[in-house]
Amino acid sequence: MKAPAFLFYTGDFLSSPDVQLMEAHEVGAYCLLLFNSWQSDRPGYLTADENRLRRTARLSADQWAGSRELLLGKFPLATDEPTLRYNPRLVQEAHKQAIKRERLAANGRKGGRPEKHLLSKNNQLLSQNLPAEPENPPEEQMLADNEQKLSSEKQLPPKEKANEKAFNFSFNTSNEVEREAAEAAPPAPAKPERKKATVPTLAEVQAYAAEQHPASADAQTEAAAFHDHYQSNGWRVSGKTPMADWRASFRGWMRRRPQFQAAGPHGSGQAAPPARARTAPKSTDPTRWS
């Protein structure tokens, strides 16, 4: 498989003493030789035929004569194949990429194996490469070190031991008292659950309309219109707030209907509420403005 790209450090390339001494056409010719050698069947290698190299670098005969020594110095003759020239940096890069591809392919083959097969193989490798058992296992060595450390510590005087014992006793006693008080405290009252607003049926709305306006024939029509309107809106006020009391909403619905404003909910005996004034009336007293 041909590698699609190679690692190119622009800083190293531009700071190279040879590149700094090159003319513009020589830098371009050098890059073309590098790119074509990487794209060859054997990455990093080019033919040793100078006429083909000159055409690959796209130089005239005079330009090639002046730049030949500098450019061919970057592509020495291959020791195993005198008809080829190679770039050491690109050959090394191709070798690294080939090793990486082989490693990835091997990992892919391992990933396709059954899990039990991999587990048994790993166990076999572990059993073959187990290190020699130390004379003192780590756990026993740790216990021995801890015992030695405790034995070497300075013993507390009797008075300090008594103070430490009293402190521990008072601390444990206070913890027990707090725990007993917490257990004896009555449980916190449960928060009352909010009642979910019930959605009325058309029959319920019509029954409530007949109760509020028994003498009106239009009450049933308005009840059906009210039910259809809020049913289509999911029983939400202004399109987003859930309706809390549909009976109160129905009464407000009826008050906004002109045929029910003059007559109250139980007939013509109750007057409609006066319309709210939007602005205060202006005074007619001319002295007020003098």
Domain boundaries, the chain: 10-97, 202-260
Query: How far, CA to CA in Å, does 193 sit from each of 140, 190, 196, 242, 286?
Result: 60, 9, 9, 17, 62
pLDDT at 182 over 80: no
Cβ 71 vs Cβ 26: under 8 Å: yes
**Nearest partner of 206 among 195, 194, 187, 221, judged by Cα:** 221
Mean pLDDT for the chain overall: 75
Cβ 90 vs Cβ 43: under 8 Å: yes
Query: How far, CA to CA in Å, does 121 sit from each of 103, 113, 115, 126?
Result: 18, 11, 10, 9
Which residue would you say has higher pLDDT here, 126 or 40? 40
- Band (pLDDT 50/70/90 cuts) for residue 166 is low
**Nearest partner of 231 among 204, 213, 208, judged by Cα:** 204
**pLDDT for res 269:** 46
Structure tokens at 91: 């050959």
Most confident of the following: 48-52, 114-118, 272-276: 48-52
- Band (pLDDT 50/70/90 cuts) for residue 32 is very high
DSSP 220-259: HHHHHHHHHHHHHTTSEETTTEEPS-HHHHHHHHHHTSGG
